[in-house]
Structure 1
Amino acid sequence: MKYAMRVGGKDIEMHLEKNSKLLTNDYSETYYTEDGKPVTSTPQDVDHCYYHGTIVNDSESTVSMSTCDGLRGYFRTAAQRYLIEPLSGGDDGDHAVLKYEDQSSKPVVCGVTNTSWNADYPPITSKSRSRASGPSLLQQQKYVELVLVADNREVRTYRQMQSHLTMQLICLQVYKPLNTFIALVGLEVWSDNDKISVTAPAGATLDAFTKWRNSDLANTKRHDNAHLISGIDFEGSTVGLAFIGTLCSDHSAGIVQDHNPRAIAVGATLAHEMGHNLGMNHDDSSACACSGNSCIMAGALSYDIPKSFSSCSSVNYDQFLNNRNPECLLDKPDYRNVESTPVCGNGFLEIGEQCDCGSLEECTNPCCNATSCTLTKDSECAAGACCDNCKVRAIVECRMKHDDCDLAEYCTGKSADCPEDVFTVNGIPCDGGRGYCNNGQCPQHHDQCVKMYGPSAENARTYCYEQNTRGLYYAYCRRPSKDQYIPCQRQDVLCGKLFCNNGNDNPNYGRMVKFLDCKASFYDELTSDFGQVDTGTKCNDGKVCNHKMECQCEPGWLLPGCDTKDESFTGLSRGRLFRHC
């Protein structure tokens, strides 16, 4: 779609396309009846009126527009930012184009301090990872499946659905340079009353919202990240708060005050708080540079709404990706197919295209024809770890071996992409015999203690683990219900609750019990328990913890899960074959 207008004495032409990556295929909306009954629907046409694009001959431009009820939205030229809104209802009336200038007299800030939460909080427990070689994790395409929740005060301000989608559109635009798509999987509207205690202290509200997310939302809607949009006025000048470095965990959440009638300003705050979830700290150094007068992760919002992340934010994000391996970011959502044909020049490789390097002004790839999205003459490829000088490589390492449990991958000569990341068979000794490979990992008690209590933490002595035979709320093997704690058999104590020594005073997740030099974490609610020993952890010579929290392997079965037959088994207990303890 093309749209022309005159702005600042100049004629501009926008090239717009439907935003096919705004909503996922399982997008749903949940409202509540007066008696508190949730009603969930899956509207089929809500995203057909949302567009994004660029301005012709302006490489720094970006456009996010809705045609749902007249033309409204945001666009940016190299020199200025603008809002466009209908002067009257309907599609055919006049529209106003306004320079965007936030004239709020109240300075507003993010409530996060860079020391509020440890970057290791809570521990990521992924069992697979993408290893850096060829494209880094920062360079790879990533996806955040987002749920927005509007509290009752927000509902009573008569915010329309379009406003919340506009907020998400702003996020989608600013994260695009970081190869990160923000996909909305759900909108929950607390139309009857709040489901938590929403109070002016932002920290208390964030804690309550996070608890509700884990106990309620997580059970009804699959998602990676959730943010509460609230109509309350938080204490002081705070308009947002979020946990740092917690995406893909139970603390992947944030809260945002609807502090401005312009959805673009609230969307910028949403992008900021989500940045914290992705491991970004505030830009507190003059060395943190970005295009524009203000960066997204600035601690205080300026009148000039930020449009890009700083160099410091990119470094923070890269560190988070490499240190935490948040696997949920690599899961591609099933986007709604609102496009009948691919759009050449949008930078996304779509069905029917051989390549897409962006617009003619943006494209710097000699292997790709920007006007037709086809390969240039004699080119075999335009991108990929196995593409070099427009040719597909063969028998070249494209992903190096990362550790004892990994295998290197090599280009096949048939594809520009590196083959699927694979790892060694389970049960091979790793890390000098301190563990056994399990699904590409080398799980060990010590490493799990470091994740829970920080780098100075150590695995506890055997006496501590013997408490797991007691079946207490902090010492057990299995918990089938909230108030039922099944004790470990004595031979299985190293497979129950994780016990550690030293490290931080408090665990990164859960609450702590400490006695002598033993400490363990516990949880009031029946939820994901990061304080349990991981499946596959070595618990004795040649033995590992299986999924039942048992330290054993039947004769004739291989480590680590004891569910794979050893064809060479002769009935003798030798090598890595062991009988019950």
Structure 2
Amino acid sequence: MQAYCSNVSTRQEDRSLSKYCIQPRQEAPSFIVLWDMVVMGEAGVHTRISHLHLWLEMVIILSTWPLTGHAQNTSLPEVVIPLQVTSNRTMRAMGWLTYSLYFGGQRHVLYMKAKKFFMSRHLSVFTYTDQGALQKDQPFVQKDCYYHGYMDGDPDSVVALTTCFGGIQGTLQINGTVYEIKPKNLSSTFEHLVHKIDSEETQLLPMRCALTEEEIARQRKLQRNDNTTLMQSSYEGWWTHKRFLNLALVVDHERIRYLNSNLSHVLLETLIIVHVINEIYRPLDVDVVLFGVEMWNTGNQVKVTDIEDLLDNFCFWKSISLNNRIQNDITHLFVKHNFGVYLGLAYLGTVCMPFLNCGVDSLVGRNLVYFGHITAHEMGHNLGMKHDEPTCTCGKKDCLMAETDRGDRKFSNCSYAAFWTTYVTASCLQKVKKPVGKYRLKFCGNGVVDDREQCDCGSSKMCTNDPCCRKDCTLKDGAACAFGLCCKDCQIMPSGTVCREPDNECDLPEWCDGHSHECPNDVYLLHGSSCKDGGYCYEKRCNKRDEQCQQIFGKEARSAVHRCYREINTQGDRFGNCGIFSRTYLRCNDSDILCGRVQCENVKSVPTLEGHSTVHWTHFNGVTCWGTDYHLGMTIPDIGRVKDGTDCGPEHVCIDRKCVNKSIWVSDCSPETCNMKGVCNNLHHCHCNPGWDPPFCLTHGFGGSIDSGPWPKKENSHLKSIMGISTSVFFIICLTFLLKLFWDSFVTFLKRDDKSNDSPSEDEELPSDVST
């Protein structure tokens, strides 16, 4: 068993315990939770959906709940305005956001990325009624507004932030100094307040822990008596990079009373601790997934006395009560109880053993980051990690599993080795579980339009400010829509209004059809369509080696010479290969060397890549080749693989690491099919140029395709020109005709007038000398 202790002297006992001392640190971000309750009593199981006032109550709680444990002792706040900075393409592709902040007398650059998956899709929360009946809750948790990250220039910085309530809120640890950041109330210019936490609040006192070989031997005997079958697995040669650990947590009655019996607050506090634990275990590529929480809100289910007895009693209770309700690889009990010198206790190497995979942790204060470190340490013991010996290292003076520690959260090389030993024999960590997301209950008010709903504006407060949707999920009078890319001011946008602009030259636009609030599905150019510099469109992108090198190494980089590809990609290692088969790297054939890993030159700077990625360079015959590695088990995108659709010779492209003829993109759509007046989209339909009508661009019209909606008439300059010319010609013809009629009439009039002047009048007298 392992234990934490405070900074008082320790003593050796027959039951050797590790005594771990640590001072509080800062809390992490908070969460939004909605509840769906299943009440389980002796008579059966009943289901109900709780009211939305619980959600509103939690928003009120979080708006006044500090994210740091002792905010009253902070320095005077500084007002800062976080400025979002445009990241490079590689960082953006991996989901990183960048902000610039000025505080503490200098400019800081913050890199942050959302942490989306840390709880089960079907998270279970158990509580008790006043009559002692067990209740099962299934919470709805917003998943995309919690961030981890780092500060530029400090690789050991800690970032734990949330944007759930507008603005940026949470803690930043920079060069050993902890800051709290939160939005400034009623600010219209995105102002935030940054507090520096006093050093005495973050200074960690030395930790001491004693683990004897006798205690380890005693625990091994207990493990041998446990009827658990361990899966035997041979070392496969590579560190597989994604494992999932199912965690269950129990909160005791005193901790709940300490939080005024507010179960929403208790759950939020628990989620924060799990978020912190995930940050600590991220370098191990372990996702700690919270599968269940039990709250002893009416009284403790086991007696809280001596910490050693409590651990034994808790594990026994878990084995007969909790195991059949919550899937768990490790279960810990949080208690608000002073155990003297001890702050925690756990069995060593018992993960996956249902009767012994337990731990007990004393949660007395409010600093949840500090408590997350304690729990992570104890979970490390469950995972087989002993205390670090003098030969263990993590790049710091002390590591997380050190017997004497000052708060460093990194695992040592010894901890990595111990975890690997546990992993290859464990029966529960071997399976790669499906990534989990939020569990969404279908009901009016959840903010998502479900079956038979016209709209859903969320809570009553949110619906009050919604101009289109009522709180009963129906449209307001006069509203035709409430959401969608073709909905504006509660009305469907006119036909021909662009609703999705093209991303690049291989993409196509979409327009509203005037009848639906939704934009048509995204369409793009057919695979193999020509794009700039002799490239080909594939999966909505124009693939060029030069651009791929620039995305990795900067704008001055370019694809290397042919010799680099031949030299590197025929090696058959993690730096140069044409794929992986049966845990073996494949050498590239001569015909496929341009389709292995991209090789670059003219590199001026080395980029910061995601964890476990490595930049390498090779110099031979006066040429320097740059590239990246990728090895077995990695789950991040492989930025160094030559992208499918990249040309590898005349009329040839790379597909699945092979250089093949582009004739593989056979289609019954071609420029000829489109009357040479359009292009083919990925659905093999004609996308007509302006002035020509789909489906085959044979007649004059407004352009577009049967998939993208009608081309906007106001933008059809070609057709307008034709119609304008036709109108002008018609006008000229009519004018000419009228002028001719006028001229003919005028000429006729003149002729008549001349005749009249030449003939005598009937009334004119004849001369007298003329005989009649």
What amino acid is aligned across from residue 407 of structure 2 in structure 1? I
Query: What residue identity is the alignment partner of 2:195?
Result: A
Deviations 1:437-480 (A, max 9, x none): xxxxxxxxxxxxxxxxxxxxxxxxxxxxxxxxxxxxxxxxxxxx
Kept in 1, the 8 Å contact 2:182–2:192? The answer is yes
Distance 1:89 1:211, change over 3 A: farther
Partner of 1:131: 234
The yes-or-no answer on 1:174 pairing with 2:280 is yes
Deviation (angstroms), 1:188: 1.7
Residue 136 of structure 2 aligns to a residue whose secondary structure is strand
Q: Residue 245 of structure 2: which of 104, 123, 144 is its match? A: 144
Q: Secondary structure at the match of 1:164?
A: helix
Name the counterpart of 1:40: 136
Aligned to 2:337: 232
Structure 1 residue 397 displacement after superposition: 6.5
CA distance in 1, matches of 2:155, 2:206: 32
- Identify the match of residue 286 of structure 1 among 384, 390, 414: 390
Q: Where does residue 172 of structure 2 map in the other structure? A: 75
1:309 corresponds in structure 2 to 411
1:452 alignment partner in structure 2: none
State how far apart, in whole Å, the 1-side matches of 2:209 and 2:185 are.
35
Report the CA distance between 1:311 and its aligned residue: 2.4
Partner residue, 1:17 = 113
Q: Per the alignment, in what secondary structure is the counterpart of residue 220 of structure 1?
A: coil
Separation of aligned partners in 2, 1:106 and 1:65: 26
Correspondence for 2:422 among 315, 320, 345:
320
What percentage of residue pairs aligned between the two structures are identical? Answer: 23
Q: CA deviation at 1:176?
A: 1.6
TM norm structure 1: 0.54
**Deviations for 1:23-75, whole angstroms, at most 9, x for unmatched residues?**
12122222222222222222222444422122245444341223456855333
Secondary structure of the 1:116 match is helix
- Provide the C-alpha distance between the structure 1 equivalents of 2:337 and 2:231, rounded to a whole number of angstroms: 40
2:576: which partner in 1? 390
Contact 2:344 2:359 in 1 (8 A): yes
- Cα deviation for residue 226 of structure 1 reads 0.7
State how 1:260-299 maps to structure 2 within 5 Å: 260-283=365-388, 285-299=389-403
- Bigger mean CA deviation after superposition, 328-337 or 30-39: 328-337
C-alpha separation between the residues in 2 aligned to 1:213 and 1:63?
34
After superposition, the Cα gap between the structure-2 partners of 1:28 and 1:248, relative to the gap in structure 1 and judged at 3 Å, is: same
| CA gap 1:36/1:297 in 2 versus in 1, 3 angstroms | same
Indicate conservation of the 8 Å contact 2:249/2:331, yes or no: yes
Q: Post-superposition shift, 1:5?
A: 3.1
Aligned to 1:66: 162
Q: Report the alpha carbon displacement of residue 281 of structure 1 after superposing the two structures with TM.
A: 0.9
Aligned-partner residue type, residue 127 of structure 2: Y
Rounded Cα–Cα distance in structure 2 between residues aligned with 1:182 and 1:143? 6
> Structure 2: how far apart are the matches of 1:394 and 1:192?
56
Contact 1:32–1:191 (8 Å) recurs in 2: yes
Long gaps (5+) in structure 2: 1-96, 260-264, 440-547, 586-594, 597-629, 634-772
Instruction: Please give the alpha-carbon distance, in whole angstroms, between the structure 1 residues aligned to 2:549 and 2:229.
Output: 38
- The normalised TM-score by structure 2 is 0.42
Match of 2:180 in 1: 84
**C-alpha distance in structure 1 between counterparts of 2:103 and 2:372, whole Å:** 24
RMSD: 4.2
Out of 98, 102, 112, the position equivalent to 2:197 is: 98
Is contact 2:177–2:196 with CA below 8 Å preserved after alignment? no
User: Which digits, 9 at most, give the CA deviation of each residue in 1:533-564, with x for residues without a partner?
Assistant: xxxxxxxxxxxxxxxxxxxxxxxxxxxxxxxx
CA displacement 1:177-204 (0-9 Å, x = unmatched): 22222111222211111111122x1111
Change in CA separation of 1:107 and 1:69 when aligned onto 2, cut-off 3 Å: farther
- Determine which structure has the larger helix proportion and give its number: 2
Alpha-carbon distance in 2 for matches of 1:31, 1:88: 36
Structure 1: give runs of 5+ residues left out of the alignment.
Answer: 339-364, 400-412, 420-581
In structure 2, distance between residues paired with 1:256 and 1:122: 21
The higher radius of gyration belongs to 2
Please state how far the C-alpha of 1:387 moved relative to its aligned partner. 6.1
Contact 1:134–1:398 (8 Å) recurs in 2: no
Match of 2:124 in 1: 28
Aligned mates of 2:293, 2:550 — CA distance in 1: 41
1:61/1:327 Cα in 2 relative to 1: closer, same or farther (>3 Å)? Answer: same
| Mapped partners of 1:253, 1:93: distance in 2 | 41
| Cα distance change, pair 54–418 in 1 and its aligned pair in 2 (3 A) | closer
Q: Does 1:117 align with 2:216?
A: yes
For 1:270 and 1:371, locate their aligned partners in 2 and report how far apart those are by CA, in whole Å: 41
Give how far 1:293 is off: 4.1
- Pairs aligned (count): 367
Provide the secondary structure at the position in 1 that maps to 2:112.
strand
Matched residues in 2 for 1:308 and 1:238: separation? 22
- Structure 1 position 127, deviation (Å): 6.5
For residue 6 of structure 1, what is the aligned residue in structure 2?
102
